[in-house]
Amino acid sequence: MANQADQIFVLLKHWIVSIFPAVVQPYLGVVLSVVAIIAVFPGLFALTTVIERKGLGRMQNRIGPNRTGPYGILQPIADGIKSLTKEDIIPTSADAVVHFIAPLVLVVAVFMGFAVLPMGRNMQLVDMDAGLLFFFAIGASTELSIFMAGWSSRNKYSLLGAMRAVAQMISYEVPLLMSSVAIVMITGSLSLVKIVDAQNQYTWGLPHWYIFTPWGFAAFVMFCIAATAETNRSPFDLPEGESELVAGYFTEYSGFKFALFFLGEYLGMFSISGLGTTLFLGGWSAPLQVLNFVPSWIWFFAKVMLSIVVLIWIRGTLPRLRQDQLMNFAWKFVLPMTLLNLFVAAIWRFMGEGLLRWIVCSAILIGVYVIVGTIGMRRKKFGPRTYRYAE
Amino acid sequence: MLGEGILKGLKETARNALGSYVSKERLTTVEYPEERLPLPEASRNFPFLVYDGTDWESGLRCVACQICEKECPPKCIYIEKSKDKKPDAVGKPQFYPAKFDIDISVCMSCQICVEVCPFEAIKMNTEFELSTDDRFEGLLLDGKELALSNEYYHQIHPTEAAEVDARLAAERAAAEAKAKAAAAAAVAKAAAATAAKSAAPAGAPATNTSAVPASTIPAGPTAQNSTGTPTAAATAPPASQNDAANADAPRAPKTDTKKEGDAS
Amino acid sequence: MNVVFWILAVITILGGLTAVTLKNTVHCALALTVAFAGLALLFLELDAQFAGFAQILVYIGAVAILVVFAILLTRGSEMPSEGVFSRTWFAGLLIAAGVFSVLAWAVLHSTAALPHESNVPAVDVRQIGHALMGRYVLPLEIVALLLTSAMLGAVIVAMHEKGEQK
């Protein structure tokens, strides 16, 4: 019975596919899964916009939207109608073809990332051997679409925003990959399905999630930071900072294209939260062994929504980072820490089971963090600031 | 330690978010239009006309003196004085404004009309929900819309209204007392004049200037700006005595010294 | 030689051709990106998963952006006046065709017999990793040093320029 509830979507898909003739069946299976993804994630996107606005409101001592529907639940419908009925303006000197294609490329690239996420037991679209690499390759393509959007608008501010966004995304791409490589090292495979299976074991009722290991926890923290920067979320949202650059690289977009960019950004948030869940939080496995009766896809989506809530929480708390602070942080702090983390993961692997490896790895990581933190937080000079380029 | 500030910030934000469900001080939203914040007492928006009593036409304090129209900086007040006089709240015949329009799209709420009004007839209202979809006619308030009762004035500006009422009552009482004293003095003068007439006719011109209050010649050469006041005080029935006192009351500060000198 | 191969081949060739004939340089760079994507898909069609995804990650994610930045930071981004095709489109086509024919001749004549049904075993990432860290570790380290020195040189040149400007 529990197995049935767990596999309900898989069984449903098999049943629908079996109705049709055999020649069509493989394609129909894939099409059904794709349709399911396209239906579910934008629905989650709509829910997330409401949660974000109300959550941010509560954090700022105010109520979020509460007029459209009870507790503002129908707000995304109102937003959708507004986006669809606004006039679609393309500036005369803009590059019309590239201007049109940019949001499409973004949305397509982001949707493709969902293809390898295992959303439940046996519930991934494609089980690729190099699934993780596919995900990162597709993530790199989104930078190109942002650049296309900024350049084709033929607007100084859009171009500046696009440059900043691309620089930020490239800088944080490296820590993102490096923190995932530690996982790959320990698991021994790039396939996301195998990574989840490796975490689906329990010792004394507690799971083997990688976040519960010292190097896994450090990697998770750095993955979070890099993921927030990759999706241009606060505190790394300088490219779309409203007070600085109007709307950054999507200044010249209106109506539905703007809604597509918005959709692309939130879907990027979902897919990278999904990846973080898969790599560090055990994907669809339950936290305690006794809770295995709850279907696996519920656990996956619960963890993803928890990650989204944490992202919203961080957005409501932290001020925006300046571009040079952002880049300094990436290259001078996060990247060396990820390399150290790789080293620590290797030590973990070669030390064999036992308490000793916990102590050694934790000591190295915490020691280096504390030392670098205290050295970096020292105020070196007091007095007026000097600027290198602005004299 | 690195990262400590971020964790403290996250804790504070979480306290805010979760506390907003339980404590009022962490959720300061006033859900307009179902709830409204009470306005402070000194707030003002656009002017209104005060009337005493229950009928706005008969109780309107405004006598169409047109001072506010002249003093208004953007000239948003338009007054047409009536041709006849109507008795006001205390019975004295006064001019009244046949038309009193204020264009609130022009009014800048400077309160000068309130400051210059000698009759405490125009005061500042606090009503701000005046949106309309007719940009010209909808924002031109006429006399009927502008007239609001003294009780309403007490509601919106209690201390100010109490002060105004006290002042008006005091002026009325002072004028009344003065009128009574003037009447008594007039009676005494009349008695003295008849006695003096029979005694010494040569003293009449000498006392002419001072006997103006007692003589039956109306409108003496002195700068009495209320015509017929002293004779009315002497011969008219007591009701008009009240009117005289009332009509004199607002002008009491200006003409006080003169009247004192003349009534002596 | 199935349908998928032909479609991908057409996409790649079209991307390459437009990259040499268009007037607007940034459009050319984007067409080049399409050609890269076509190549990556061809790799995937041949079951070389690592090569395909690495192609996307490196070429589209980094090289294409590098090319575009280079075009933007030089004068190539000035708006062309009219027309879609550049003035030298024929020369571009000719050179591209010449290079293609040379490479095709080299490939077709390289091995005596190209296998029709490729029994080449699919190489997975594990084997690539073993090879890189085992047999080819010296080239790997030398390439890493080369890249590091190139990056350091670029940073030094940029800082030197700024220093002179000051």
Question: A7: distance to nearest CA of chain C, Å?
Answer: 29
Q: Is residue A379, in this structure, part of any structural domain at all? A: no
Question: pLDDT tens for residues B165-199?
Answer: 999 898 888 888 888 888 888 888 888 888 877 77
Query: Out of A84-98, B99-113, B232-246, C103-117, which region has the weakest mean confidence (pLDDT)?
Result: B232-246
Percent of chain A with pLDDT over 70: 95
Residues of A contacting chain B (CB within 8 angstroms): 55, 58-63, 66, 313-314, 316-318, 369-370, 372-374, 376-377
Distance CA C54, CA A140 (A): 11
Residue type, position A205, single letter = G
H helix intervals, C22-136: 25-45, 49-55, 64-73, 89-108, 125-133
Q: Do C65 and A166 touch (CB under 8 A)?
A: yes
The pair of three-digit structure tokens given for residue B56, joined into one six-digit string: 């706005």
Q: Is residue C104, in this structure, part of any structural domain at all? A: no
Distance CA C25, CA C62 (A): 18
3-state secondary structure A74-118: CHHHHHHHHHHHCCCCCCCCCCHHHHHHHHHHHHHHHHHHHHHCC
Domain count, chain C: 2
The pair of three-digit structure tokens given for residue A212, joined into one six-digit string: 């519960």
pLDDT above 60 (res B233) = no
Please give the pLDDT value at position C113: 54
A151 touches chain C (CB under 8 A): yes
Looking up tokens 């021994």 gives: A188
Phi/psi region, residue B46 (left: phi>0; alpha: psi -120 to 50; beta: rest), is: beta
Which of A222, A91, A241 shows the shortest CA–CA distance to A165? A241
Percent of chain B with pLDDT over 90: 32
Q: Is residue C38, in this structure, part of any structural domain at all? A: yes
Complete DSSP assignment for C124-164 = -HHHHHHHHHTTTHHHHHHHHHHHHHHHHHHHHHHHHHHHH
Question: pLDDT tens for residues A271-299?
Answer: 999 999 999 998 888 888 888 888 889 99
The number of CA neighbours under 13 Å toward the Cβ of C165 is 10
Question: A228: distance to nearest CA of chain B, Å?
Answer: 15
Question: A310: distance to nearest CA of chain C, Å?
Answer: 28
Which of A100, A106, A131, A107 shows the shortest CA–CA distance to A37? A107
B10 touches chain A (CB under 8 A): yes
Confidence of residue A1 (pLDDT cuts 50, 70, 90): low
Please state the pTM of the whole predicted model.
Answer: 0.79
Question: pLDDT tens for residues A238-252?
Answer: 777 655 556 677 777
Please give the pLDDT value at position C118: 60
| Residues in chain C, total | 166
Which residues does A219 contact at the CB level (< 8 Å), separation at least 6? A179, A180, A182, A183, A210, A280, A338, A341, A345
Q: What is the dihedral of CA B74, B75, B76, B80, to 10 degrees?
A: 170
> Which residues on A lie below 8 Å from B6 (Cβ)?
317-318
Q: How much helix, strand and coil, in percent to the nearest 5, is found in chain A?
A: 70, 0, 25
Question: pLDDT tens for residues A27-80?
Answer: 888 999 999 999 999 999 999 999 999 999 999 988 888 888 888 899 999 999
From the list C56, C68, C125, the residue facing A137 with the nearest CB is C56
C68 touches chain A (CB under 8 A): yes
**Secondary structure element (H or E) that encloses residue B255, with its range:** helix B252-263
Please give the pLDDT value at position A354: 84
Q: Do A137 and C60 touch (CB under 8 A)?
A: yes
* Structural domain containing residue A287: 2-346
Chains that touch B (3 or more CB pairs under 8 A): A
Which of C69, C75, C4 shows the shortest CA–CA distance to C41? C4
Residues facing B47 on adjacent strands: B124
- Do residue C93 and residue C132 come from a single domain? no
Question: C109: distance to nearest CA of chain A, Å?
Answer: 33
Residues facing C22 on adjacent strands: C85
From the list B1, B10, B29, the residue facing A63 with the nearest CB is B29
Please give the pLDDT value at position A365: 93
Task: For the domain made up of B47-156, give the CATH fold.
Answer: Alpha-Beta Plaits (3.30.70)
Q: A380 or B216: which carries more pLDDT confidence? A: A380
Please give the pLDDT value at position B215: 42
- Window 90-149 of A: residues touching C by CB (8 A cutoff) are 93, 95, 97-98, 128-130, 133-134, 136-141, 143-144, 147-148
From the list B1, B13, B29, the residue facing A59 with the nearest CB is B13
pLDDT above 60 (res B58) = yes
Chains that touch C (3 or more CB pairs under 8 A): A
Mutate to test the interface with A, among B7, B10, B13, B24 (most CBs of A within 10 A): B13
CB atoms within 10 A of CB A118: 26
From the list C57, C64, C166, the residue facing A144 with the nearest CB is C64
CB atoms within 10 A of CB A77: 12
Mutate to test the interface with B, among A52, A228, A312, A317 (most CBs of B within 10 A): A317
**ipTM, two decimals:** 0.83
Which of A129, A112, A138 shows the shortest CA–CA distance to A193? A129
Q: Is residue C30, in this structure, part of any structural domain at all? A: yes
- Between the ranges A372-381, B31-40, B99-108, where is the mean pLDDT highest? B99-108
Please give the pLDDT value at position A43: 92
A170 touches chain C (CB under 8 A): yes
Please give the pLDDT value at position A97: 86
Which of A80, A142, A121 shows the shortest CA–CA distance to A267? A142
CATH code, C11 = 1.20.120.1200
Nearest CA in chain A to B8: A317
Please give the pLDDT value at position B203: 52
Q: Is residue A62, in this structure, part of any structural domain at all? A: yes
Q: Is residue A318, in this structure, part of any structural domain at all? A: yes
B27 touches chain A (CB under 8 A): yes
Average pLDDT over residues A119-147: 88
Nearest CA in chain A to C64: A144
Q: Is residue C165, in this structure, part of any structural domain at all? A: yes
Phi/psi region, residue B20 (left: phi>0; alpha: psi -120 to 50; beta: rest), is: alpha
Q: Do C68 and A140 touch (CB under 8 A)?
A: no
* Domain residue ranges in chain B: 47-156, 172-263
How buried is A354 (Cβ within 10 angstroms: 0-12 exposed, 13-18 middle, 19+ buried)?
Answer: exposed
pLDDT above 60 (res A106) = yes
Q: Is residue A387, in this structure, part of any structural domain at all? A: no
* Structural domain containing residue C47: 1-78+85-97
Q: Is residue C116, in this structure, part of any structural domain at all? A: no
Q: Do B16 and A377 touch (CB under 8 A)?
A: no
Residues facing B86 on adjacent strands: B94
C61 touches chain A (CB under 8 A): yes
Residues facing B51 on adjacent strands: B60, B149
Question: B21: distance to nearest CA of chain A, Å?
Answer: 8
pLDDT above 70 (res B256) = no
Please give the pLDDT value at position A244: 59
CB atoms within 10 A of CB C129: 14
- Do residue C165 and residue C129 come from a single domain? yes
Positions of chain C with pLDDT under 70 = 1, 75-83, 112-122, 162-166
Beta strands in A163-313 (DSSP E): 202-203, 206-207
DSSP letter for C22, please.
B
Confidence of residue B213 (pLDDT cuts 50, 70, 90): very low
Phi/psi region, residue A322 (left: phi>0; alpha: psi -120 to 50; beta: rest), is: beta
Q: A389 or C155: which carries more pLDDT confidence? A: C155
Please give the pLDDT value at position B230: 42
Distance CA B100, CA C144 (A): 89
Please give the pLDDT value at position A154: 80
- Judge whether B149 and B56 are in contact, CB under 8 Å: yes
Which of A262, A216, A246 shows the shortest CA–CA distance to A82? A262
Please give the pLDDT value at position C80: 58
- Judge whether C65 and C36 are in contact, CB under 8 Å: no
Give CA separation, A315 vs A60, A172, A339, A368, C40, in Å: 11, 18, 27, 28, 37
From the list A139, A190, A388, the residue facing C125 with the nearest CB is A190
Question: C75: distance to nearest CA of chain A, Å?
Answer: 15
Domain count, chain A: 1
From the list A58, A314, A369, the residue facing B20 with the nearest CB is A58
Nearest CA in chain A to C31: A98
Contacts across the A-B interface (CB distance below 8 Å): 50
Mutate to test the interface with A, among C59, C60, C66, C133 (most CBs of A within 10 A): C60
> Which residues on C lie below 8 Å from A93 (Cβ)?
79
Q: A246 or B95: which carries more pLDDT confidence? A: B95
- Do residue C93 and residue C22 come from a single domain? yes
- Do residue C127 and residue C65 come from a single domain? no
Average pLDDT over residues A225-238: 87
Distance CA A189, CA B93 (A): 104
Distance CA A179, CA A220 (A): 7
- Judge whether B40 and A73 are in contact, CB under 8 Å: no
b/e burial code for range A1-13 (CB count within 10 A of at least 16 → b): eeeeebbebeeeb
Calculate the CA A197 to chain-centre distance.
21
Average pLDDT over residues A174-200: 91
Distance CA C55, CA C12 (A): 14
From the list B1, B13, B29, the residue facing A317 with the nearest CB is B13
Q: Is residue C44, in this structure, part of any structural domain at all? A: yes
- Between the ranges A4-8, A88-92, C148-152, where is the mean pLDDT highest? C148-152
Give CA separation, B182 vs A356, B176, B189, B241, B262, in Å: 113, 10, 10, 10, 11
Contacts 24+ apart (CB under 8 A), C9-14: C9/C38, C9/C42, C11/C37, C11/C38, C11/C41, C12/C38, C12/C39, C12/C42
Q: A391 or A100: which carries more pLDDT confidence? A: A100
- Do residue C68 and residue C2 come from a single domain? yes
> Which residues on B lie below 8 Å from A369 (Cβ)?
2
- Judge whether A64 and A53 are in contact, CB under 8 Å: yes
Mean pLDDT of chain A: 87
Q: Do A318 and B12 touch (CB under 8 A)?
A: no
- Judge whether A250 and A102 are in contact, CB under 8 Å: no
Residues facing B87 on adjacent strands: B93
Please give the pLDDT value at position C34: 94
C63 touches chain A (CB under 8 A): no
Q: Is residue A357, in this structure, part of any structural domain at all? A: no
- Between the ranges B14-28, B103-117, B183-197, where is the mean pLDDT highest? B103-117
- Judge whether A74 and A68 are in contact, CB under 8 Å: yes
Question: A100: distance to nearest CA of chain B, Å?
Answer: 40
Query: Out of A21-25, A82-86, A108-112, which region has the weakest mean confidence (pLDDT)?
Result: A21-25
Q: Is residue A389, in this structure, part of any structural domain at all? A: no
Is the sign of the CA dihedral A251, A256, A259, A263 positive or negative?
negative
> Which residues on A lie below 8 Å from B13 (Cβ)?
59, 313, 316-317
Confidence of residue A150 (pLDDT cuts 50, 70, 90): confident
Average pLDDT over residues B38-50: 91
Q: Is residue C105, in this structure, part of any structural domain at all? A: no
Helix or strand or coil: residue B151? helix
Mutate to test the interface with A, among C25, C27, C49, C55 (most CBs of A within 10 A): C49
Q: C66 or B218: which carries more pLDDT confidence? A: C66
Query: Out of A308-322, B132-146, C119-133, which region has the weakest mean confidence (pLDDT)?
Result: C119-133
DSSP letter for A330, please.
I
- Judge whether B117 and B68 are in contact, CB under 8 Å: yes
